[in-house]
Structure 1
Amino acid sequence: MKKEHMIHILNEGHFSVPRLLLTYYARIGLHEEDTFFLIKLHSFIEKGNSFPTPEELASTMTYSPQACLDKIQQLMQKGVLTIEEHRNEDKNYYSEAYSLLPLWDRIFVAIEQEEAEKSAAKNVENEESLYTLFEREFARPLSPIECETLAMWIDGDKHDAELIKAALKESVLASKLNFRYIDRILFEWKRNGIKTVDQARSYGEKFRRHQYDKKTPASKSDSKNDPGQSAPIYNWLGR
């Protein structure tokens, strides 16, 4: 390739195909032909021609001018393309321009829907994992009322799955393995703005330390002689 030719190509600049369009076109009801046409139209807009004629579009495609006009009308009917009017600075006349904002709006809605679906799927997975974990710790199948309570923690109270696991662990450590005790833990955490497992751990340690400091001097002395003794488990129902 000749140097002059290479320089000419480089001077033409770079055109970036919107990756989100390539990723979500099928999800918003577009076909490959629609997508390619929108990419061509996008390239005209990027080059400063915001209202190319059907003839200009056809000159870079295998479509006829009439086919280009038909495709524009189809895309407008699908709600991904509009024509906007712009007033000239001296307000003597109006100019028209194609707008792809409806397309981007549809894509962003699709992204939000996808994220919501992923979140819902994750919640279902967490819920199934929690049921399995609870049944393992309780060493028996959960009763219908217990299943309903667990579902209420997840769906009604919006407790994070990891926090529910942490509350279960608290109840195991306290040898108070029952739903009333776990519910009280979750209630206390929510009331005190606890949203992460780390926050819950710090919160529990603070009250355990408080209980430990309230011990008599004699018991403290005994504790010092027994370095393996840890701070007492906090009784969440005893507050």
Structure 2
Amino acid sequence: MEKKIMMDLMVNSNVMIPSLLLENYYMLGLNEEECMLLIHVHSFISKGNYFPTPDDLAERMSCTPAQCADHLRRLVQNGFLNIEQRTDNQIYSEAYTLEPLWEKLIVHHYQKTTDQQHAEQEVALYTVFENEFGRPLSPIECETLTMWLDQDHHSPELIKAALRESVISGKLNFRYIDRILFEWKKNGIKTLQQAKAYGEKIRNKFPQKKEHQANKNQNSITLPMYNWLEN
């Protein structure tokens, strides 16, 4: 009977601790004592004590009240914990809020997810280029590709479109692709639709550079041509 009561207490009196906090507290700049103190603050808040004292916290931890007070002060200063002023029936009180901590976790998780997606897109982009060039990219070419993404902020889709443009033009080299991307950025081109419309405008402006024939053994296909290096 006593064992069942204890099991019920364990199951029904849990405090929800976000797994993001346990997985990422170190990356946020927290140590184990600070993280554990925040968890205890979270526990006190969930049970209606919105402003636990250093003595309250020290009773649950191996830290002294003075050490808990130092941790609390540092956590507030570093933006992990905030103190709010509350009014209830004209009675003023203070309360801790963990919203700054949750915001940091959300931003960190978003950045981590975005970085992972970015890395996956970059690897996929390398694969597309290596398939078109028929060889591994050189270190300089890899650096150029990274620069297009990180410094020039070209989307992977637009980079692949510039690659296709160079393939169609029969000028498969990074200098040519870089020139296309430079012209697109200079003219505010950010989407595939804008790039297509701009390409049509350029080709109509230079009809003498417009055509060449491909697949002569099959039906004749007209491919748009424009030398971006001569622009």
> Normalised by the size of structure 1, how large is the TM-score?
0.59
Match of 2:164 in 1: 169
Matches within 5 A, 1:1-239: 5=5, 8-9=8-9, 12-59=12-59, 61-63=60-62, 67-78=64-75, 79=78, 80-88=80-88, 90-91=89-90, 93-111=91-109, 114=112, 118=116, 129=126, 133=130, 136=133, 153-155=148-150, 157-177=152-172, 182=177, 185-186=180-181, 191=187, 193=189, 195=191, 203=196, 228-229=218-219, 231-237=221-227
Q: What are the ranges of 5 or more consecutive residues in structure 2 without an aligned counterpart?
A: 205-215
Aligned partners of 1:167 and 1:186 also within 8 Å: yes
Instruction: Give the deviation of 1:95 after TM superposition.
Output: 1.0
What letter corresponds to residue 166 of structure 1 in structure 2?
A: A
Sequence identity (%) = 39
What letter corresponds to residue 101 of structure 2 in structure 1?
A: L
Q: What are the ranges of 5 or more consecutive residues in structure 1 without an aligned counterpart?
A: 212-225
What letter corresponds to residue 170 of structure 1 in structure 2?
A: E
Q: What is the SS of the residue equivalent to 1:236?
A: coil
> Within 1, Cα distance between the matches of 2:137 and 2:21?
50
CA-atom RMSD in angstroms = 5.0
> Normalised by the size of structure 2, how large is the TM-score?
0.61
What letter corresponds to residue 224 of structure 2 in structure 1?
A: Y
Change (3 A) 1:8 1:237: same
Q: What is the SS of the residue equivalent to 1:159?
A: coil
Aligned partners of 2:50 and 2:96 also within 8 Å: yes
Q: How many residues were matched structurally?
A: 212
Change (3 A) 1:164 1:40: same
Change (3 A) 1:19 1:141: closer
> Within 1, Cα distance between the matches of 2:137 and 2:65?
67
Aligned partners of 1:154 and 1:160 also within 8 Å: yes
